[in-house]
Amino acid sequence: MKKLFNVGFWTILLAGLGIVVPIVWDYYKTTSAIELVLTGKSTIISKPEKMNGLVITYDGESLEELSRITFSIINTGRSPIGKKDVVSPIVVSFAKEAGVIDVKIDSMQPPNLGANLIFDKAVGSTTFDFPLLNPNDRIHFSVLAKTSNIKFNAAARIAGVSSLGVKDISDDKTKKIRPWTIYPVGFFSVLFLMVAFSMLLKDYPNERRVKRALKSRVFDLPLYQIKSDLIDWVSSTIGFLTNKDRDAVILFIDNFSDSELTNDITRTRIMDSIQHAVNRAQSNLQTGLLTMILSFWGLWYVFTNW
């Protein structure tokens, strides 16, 4: 039975395309990135029905409902964003019908981040300012509004950042932002880890035995009188080779007739072809170890971003 895919160059190439390329792309894509994330919604006050005369106010303004919507501004990239990088500051604008009453910063990570905001109630916009936003630094702020179903948009002009990302994870209990690249990387990492184990536990021991026998000159062909039997034995014995290398040996054997198989010269030529194919083949040990390293690197990437 032929292998699903060849060892050596093609295995490393496919592992690289499936594992290395998505990770490098994710690293490059997120070198500079910043996101506004809607993290939660809650109703603070809701006017009971059938209670005429009850008036709820906030800062002198009458309310039917008071909701709190929480946001986070996060540097999701791998590079710090300084004040000099900000051409136009982060501005979050709320629709007039949202009835935004107030906006305030709840916390910062780290606490000494030094960010502040300016809320313009008349136009419903909030402008943020910060001296430095390192990777994974966060500004948590909340919005008090007359409804939890608010519409908003955000914009900023920051060097190295193509656009300000906006996400809503208020209904996601995990509150975890995962890059899509973890899925192909995880799939190919598991796939090629199984390939690596097959190389190291199945193919390499057979390869080592054959190479030792050839080096010690104790490798010998069985005295088959039927060519198909010899081909089956050779295919099984050098099954650790790529399909191409193995088929070259089989094609060479196929040139002889059944009556020539017991001839010493024929047997020597077949042995030489096997020796040549084994010597030029890439070792399963090297390929398996490199594939395993790539697979573990991919799994580490998945676990750290899950």
- In this structure, the answer to whether residues 247 and 282 fall within a common structural domain is yes
Measured over the CA atoms of residue 240, residue 197, residue 16 and residue 5, the dihedral's sign is positive
Task: Tell me which residue of 16, 9, 25, 26 sits closest to 192, measured CA to CA.
Answer: 16
- In this structure, the answer to whether residues 39 and 158 fall within a common structural domain is yes
Domain holding 236, by residue range, is 9-23+182-300
Could you tell me the CATH number of the domain that includes residue 113? 2.60.40
Look at residue 59 and tell me if it is in a domain. yes
For the chain, the domain total comes to 2
Which tokens in the block code for residue 197?
A: 């184990």
Which tokens in the block code for residue 212?
A: 């030792």
Look at residue 174 and tell me if it is in a domain. no
Whether the model clears a pTM of 0.85, i.e. scores above it, the answer is: no
CB atoms within 10 A of CB 131: 12
- In this structure, the answer to whether residues 153 and 101 fall within a common structural domain is yes
Q: What is the pLDDT of residues 268-287, one digit of tens each?
A: 999 999 999 888 887 888 88
How are beta strands 125-129 and 81-82 bridged, if at all?
A: unpaired
- In this structure, the answer to whether residues 196 and 164 fall within a common structural domain is no
- In this structure, the answer to whether residues 18 and 47 fall within a common structural domain is no
pLDDT at 126 over 60: yes
Alpha carbon 174 to its chain's center? 18
Q: How far apart are CA 23 and CA 83, in angstroms?
A: 29
How are beta strands 165-168 and 35-46 bridged, if at all?
A: parallel
Model pLDDT, residue 71: 95
- In this structure, the answer to whether residues 154 and 230 fall within a common structural domain is no
Overall average pLDDT of the 109-113 stretch? 94
Backbone angles phi, psi at 21, to 5 degrees: -60, -50
Q: How far apart are CA 239 and CA 245, in angstroms?
A: 10
Q: What is the pLDDT of residues 182-225, one digit of tens each?
A: 888 888 888 888 888 888 888 888 889 999 998 888 888 888 88
Residue 115 confidence class, pLDDT cut points 50, 70, 90: very high
- In this structure, the answer to whether residues 286 and 208 fall within a common structural domain is yes
Q: State percent of the chain over pLDDT 70.
A: 86
Choosing from 168, 202, 217, the residue where a domain stops is 168
Choosing from 136, 168, 200, the residue where a domain stops is 168
- The vertex-234 CA angle with 229 and 238, nearest 5°, equals 155
pLDDT at 103 over 60: yes
Q: What is the pLDDT of residues 21-53, one digit of tens each?
A: 787 777 766 667 899 999 998 888 766 655 565
